[in-house]
Amino acid sequence: MGPGFITQTTTFTARLGAAFAFAVLVSILVDIAVQLNVWRVIGVSGQRAHELGNKVAPGVGWLLAVLVIVGGLVFNIGNVGGTGLGVNAMLGVDAKIGGAISALLAIAIFLSKRAGVALDRIVVVLGAVMILMTAYVAIVSGPPVGDALRQTVLPDQVDVLVITTLIGGTVGGYITYAGAHRLLDSGLTGPEHVGAISRSSVVGILVTGVMRVLLFLAVLGVVAGGVTLAQDNPAASAFEAAAGQAGLRVFGIILWAASITSVIGAAYTSVSFMTSSATSPRRRNLLTVAFIALSTLIYVLVGTAPVTLLVFAGAFNGLILPIGFTVVLWVAWRRRDLLGGYRYPAWLLGIGVLAWLLTLYLGYQSLGGLASL
């Protein structure tokens, strides 16, 4: 749930109104289909996505790794920028100073002796803070809940591009591998842990779904009341319209929490594609620190990630999903040897194939974006 997640949800709610509820529902269902398959294959095999890719076809894993690392670095510059904007909205501190301080905090987490435990607990706490504060604004803004419920199943309009954008922002790029690789590091692998792996994958999507719904309702209450959101920062203006200066401060906390968890997630996952299961935790942590430091240095020097680079990285995200998901489904279908003899459920493979067809569409759309750049 990063700064892009917040901006997309706000923008689409302002554009579609209550009809956005249908897009949220469809995207959550597709996200579950994708993440159930990705996490189960990675978790049961006990191998990272790029390691599986190289065993399916030599070089595929390294291609996937390059795409993840390049996209992760560029987006992390934007994530650091998001922490700076969050601190600015909370305390009025200069965005660059706020971003640098936040990055130092993220680095401190990875340098702690119990980095893994600290990482898990901090992300959970910040996620809870985001949800509770967004729920408060959703109540204060007084959204038309009845209309939103009706349009969840009977929408006035359907925007396919909005749905695919939501899917790409939730399970596209490096994002879907973050939790799966974290499970490997925690030792939760093998066929005997299928139940726990599946529950974690679905709960992860449902938590982001709850946040998306609450943010949608918060913004819907504002726009339904006739407020026109600011073009440069629509989410901040929505929170301020709903709850005044207190709402703006709450938004700052939510944006900061969303951004710093994304800084940690992007760095952690990108580094997991540079390393293997045999890499020592200390070396992984040091590489992660270097990744965050590089992202922060570029942000402080440039101000933010150049727009063209962000668009380019977004197009990369559209390519990562179909390439990585193809590897996952091939292992599930044809490479039982990589799953320790585990018999993969046909129903799960079936819904995975349907979701895969959609990822091909996303990838095709991304090629157009890369060509224009």
pLDDT score, position 311: 65
What span, in angstroms and rounded, lies between the C-alpha atoms of 238 and 181?
Answer: 36
Report the interhelical angle of 346-372 vs 20-45 (nearest 10°).
110
Of 178, 120, 163, 166, which Cα lies nearest the Cα of 324? 178
Q: Which residue has the tokens 């599986």?
A: 52
Show the tokens assigned to 246: 């207190």
Distances, alpha carbon 31 to alpha carbons 4, 277, 284, in Å: 17, 27, 28
Question: What pTM value is reported for the model?
Answer: 0.89
What span, in angstroms and rounded, lies between the C-alpha atoms of 275 and 343?
Answer: 28
| DSSP type of residue 230 | P
CB neighbours (10 Å) of residue 331?
25
- Answer whether 239's CB lies under 8 Å from 218's CB: yes
- Answer whether 299's CB lies under 8 Å from 96's CB: yes
Q: Kindly give the parts of the chain with pLDDT less than 70.
A: 305-311, 369-370, 373
- Answer whether 74's CB lies under 8 Å from 291's CB: no
In the chain, the N- to C-terminal Cα span, in Å, equals 27
- Residue 354, Cβ density class (10 Å: 0-12 exposed, 13-18 middle, ≥19 buried): exposed
pLDDT score, position 206: 94
What span, in angstroms and rounded, lies between the C-alpha atoms of 45 and 27?
Answer: 27
pLDDT score, position 169: 83
Mind listing the pLDDT tens digit for each residue in 191-221? 999 999 999 999 999 999 999 999 999 999 9
What span, in angstroms and rounded, lies between the C-alpha atoms of 80 and 103?
Answer: 7
| DSSP type of residue 344 | -
